[in-house]
Structures are given as C-alpha cells and as structure tokens.
Structure 1
Amino acid sequence: MMQQTSDKKWFDELVVELRLRQVHGSAIGDTVASARELLRDTGQPAEEAFGPARDYAAALEFPAAPGHDWVRQALWPSLLGLLAFLLFNQAVTAWTQQELLLVSPAQLALLATPVVLVALLPLYLDAVVRRLWVGIAIAAICAVAGVLSAVVAPTQPSDAWLAIDPSPWLIGTALVMVVLSVRNTVRSSRAADDDEIIDPLSGTTAGTGAGARILVHVTNWLFPVLALAMLGLALALR
C-alpha cells in the first residue's frame, strides 16, 4: 500500500513536470504507460527505478510546443480578462450611483499590481506549481492591492486625476469578458480532445471526468460570473 501511494505521487509529479515542459498529452500517456509496465516487471518503486520525477522528466527528449505558445494561447487572454474585470469593478459602483468614475494615480498603480504579476507569470510559474506558499502569497498580494485600490479611490472630482463617464467602460469591459469566455470555452473544448493524456494500454484518459470538465467551464466563465455578482451587490447597496 505504501509503495502504491508513493508511486502514485511520483507519477503525478512526472505528469506535472512534463506538462511544464509543454509535452503533448499523447506523449505523456506513452511515457506513463511504459514506466508502469517496467515497474510491473521489476517490482521496484518508481523512485528507485527512475530517480526523482523531475530529473527523469528532464532526461526525456520529446517534441514540445513552442516555448511561448501557452503565453499567446492562454496567458494573454487571461490577462486581458483580468484587466477587464478590474476596470468593470471600478466602473460598476459609479454607474449604479449615477456618478462619474473618479481615478487617481495611486489607484491605477494598485490596480496594475495583479496585472503585472500575471504578466510576469512565465518567470515564476515553476515556483507557483512546486511551492504552494508562492501561489498563496501572489493571491494575497493581488487581494490586498484590490482592497487598497478601493480605499484610495477619490471621493471628490477635485481629488481625481480622471473623471469619466462609467457607462462605456462598464459595457465595454462586460463585452470583453463575455467574448473571452466564449473564446476560451470553444478553445478548451477543442483542445481537450487533442491533448488528453491517453493510456495506450487501456485506452482510458486521465483527468477528463465530468467534474474536471465542469471545472474547466466554470474557470472559463469566472470573470463574467464574478462581474455579475459585483453588479448585483452594487445594485443592492446603492
């Protein structure tokens, strides 16, 4: 039982390492199947037979997607969605109260903090995946920046750097979020079938259950759902 638990952890780590290296799902499935078959023949634990999962993944040679392909396909749309959501949140309160949207330099700097952190994600993605505290710290910084941006928001037009009509920003950012969510839903539906991890021995796929697919769709529509919740809250509190 202990060996099975240890081997499962090792294979989970191997899949993560190969995904970080942009290895295609079918190649990952072949690698995992070959390793499991060897372990069945030898009876050895995975760590003993192959060494640390990270080192084993690094030693394998696979054709991988272009190094920055995921940045273009996933990161930049996510970054645009985050920016649209942050701008929507700034505009929604002013719109529901029929006031101008007041903006200060300090407020813009704080709103830019989570955008910059997401934009720099390729530089520290490995640390986020391998160390839970790094992801928690990044999320905490983003949350604090969001709270502080509301605290430093101007209350009088004379204190604001910009005073603008919130309606175009509200409508524009809402449309951006919806369009991106539709695009991500279509893309993830196509990519799921093309890049699944398939065991060549059993023909089964990993991580493609109903729960996993629902989670993907919820993630795709996260910003519009949160924006709708913020709109409802603003209308209730006006």
Structure 2
Amino acid sequence: MKTSTPDKKWFDDLVVELRLRQVDGPAIGDTVASARELLADTGQGAEDAFGPARDYAASLELPHDDRGIWRGATLWPSLAGLIAFLTFTQALVPWATAEPLLVAPAQLALLGVTVVLIALLPLYLTAAIRHPWLLGLLFVIGGAAGFLSSAVAPESVDEAWLVLAAVPWLVGSAVLMVLVSLGTTIRTLRRGSVDDITDPLQGPATGRKRSGLVLALITGWLFPLFAGLMLALATVYPR
C-alpha cells in the first residue's frame, strides 16, 4: 500500500510519540502494520480513522523498552563526553603555544550554560522532539555560549582566575572522551541496531538495520574524531 503524504506524516508522528513513550521497536512495527492494514481495508485517512497521532499513541497499551535511548544510561555518558570535549578545546591552544591554561569566571559560566542545557535535557526533551524549532534554538544557545567562552578567555595571567598547566587537562579530557566512546560502542553493540522497528508485512530490513548500527557507532566517536582533527590542525598551524 502506497502511503499518502498526510498519512505518511501521521505515521511519522505516531512513531515519534511511541518512541517518546519508550515503546520497543517490534511493538511499534506491529502497530504501524496493523494501522496500515486497516486503512487499506477501509480507504480512510489515518487522521480520520485514528484521530491525532499523539492521542492514538496515548490510548495504546504497548510493552516498553527499558533500554530506551532517552534514558539516563545514555544521557550521562553523553554529558561526560561533552564536558571532556569542551575541556579539550579550552586546553588545546595553550598546549600548542606552550602557555598555561588561563580560566576566568565568565568563561566557566558560559561553558556551564551548555552543560546545564544537556543536564536538564530530560525535562524538556519531549517538547524539543515535538517542536524541532525548539531543538534548533537550544543548539544556537549552546553554540553561542561556547563561542563567547572563547571570546572572554583571559589574555594574561593577571586577568585569570585560575592558572593551570594545559597538558594534564588536555590529556585527561582526551582519555575521558575515548573511554566514553568505548562505553557507548559496547552499549550499542550489546543492544544491536538502533533501527529496530520492523514491519511484519515487509519482513526484516537487514540493510537498514546494518546502516543504523554503523551510524550509531560513528556518532559515538564524534567527540574524539573532532578532537583529533583539532589537535592535528593545532600541531600543523600553531597560533
């Protein structure tokens, strides 16, 4: 059955709503397949047959997946990786120029904005997923805070609140990023493909599952990869 554009959006919304309710992939696949079969038999549109996707998802009693991607087991390692990456970026230039790491209160406060946005993510994640503009706004705020933290970095020891050796912070943050990524890789491999929504009418999509797994593995190593690129640039083009 070919899904019309309005129905496709309705099914996309339904999948998101069920994911937000921690419903496991096979149950989502069964729900979507059953709904499509009913629409094929009746000729109705999804909105007319089931009502709003959000309300329909709330009316269903489906099994939950305790390993859901929105749970703290994933959030807190991601937060640790972010903190390590931010620390790495602050220590990189002082290391490359053989200078101490200078820290000012305003710098820490601005970096803290990004950390707090991530730490409080469970409180507003549902709203951010349902309203993509809100998620974009959060990215803009976090990026602006990171940029401004570099702009307000002290230029001399006299202006600094803390004067630290750059090498321990650079190495420590790099090690922490690698450890977090290794942990993420282990969890991903134990869980299997994050694209575990299977349609019983079409059979398992092995190619999609494999690509989803590869994407999840690559995503888990983004911080170390970016840090390695920045390290290479700082080594070749020291300021």
Give the corresponding residue for 1:185.
185
CA distance 1:75–1:189, shift in 2 (3 Å)? same
Name the SS for the 1:102 alignment partner: strand
Give the corresponding residue for 2:238.
237
Give the corresponding residue for 1:51.
51
Give the corresponding residue for 1:79.
79
1:182-205 Cα deviation digits (max 9, x unpaired): 221221233234871112233224
Larger deviation, residues 225-234 vs 105-114: 225-234
CA distance 1:115–1:206, shift in 2 (3 Å)? farther
Equivalent positions of 1:99-178 (< 5 A) are 99-178=99-178
Residue 18, structure 1, aligned to residue 18, structure 2? yes
Give the corresponding residue for 2:208.
208
Q: Which amino acid aligns with 1:169?
A: W
1:208-230 Cα deviation digits (max 9, x unpaired): 35543343222111101111122
Kept in 2, the 8 Å contact 1:197–1:205? The answer is no
Gapped runs of 5+ residues in structure 2? none
Larger deviation, residues 200-209 vs 87-96: 200-209
Identity over aligned pairs, percent: 55
Q: Which amino acid aligns with 2:99?
A: E
Instruction: Give TM-score, length-normalised by structure 1.
Output: 0.92
CA distance 1:69–1:135, shift in 2 (3 Å)? closer
Gapped runs of 5+ residues in structure 1? none
Aligned partners of 2:135 and 2:207: how far apart in 1? 22
Instruction: Give TM-score, length-normalised by structure 2.
Output: 0.91
Residue 224, structure 1, aligned to residue 212, structure 2? no
Aligned partners of 2:198 and 2:218: how far apart in 1? 24
Larger deviation, residues 69-78 vs 89-98: 69-78
Give the deviation of 1:14 after TM superposition: 0.5
Kept in 1, the 8 Å contact 2:195–2:209? The answer is no
Kept in 1, the 8 Å contact 2:193–2:210? The answer is no
Name the SS for the 1:208 alignment partner: helix
CA distance 1:101–1:155, shift in 2 (3 Å)? same
1:98-150 Cα deviation digits (max 9, x unpaired): 11111111100011111100111111112211222111111111111111111
Give the corresponding residue for 1:95.
95
Aligned CA-pair RMSD: 2.3
Aligned partners of 1:218 and 1:65: how far apart in 2? 23
Give the deviation of 1:43 after TM superposition: 1.4
- Number of equivalences: 238
Aligned partners of 1:217 and 1:67: how far apart in 2? 17
Name the SS for the 2:38 alignment partner: helix
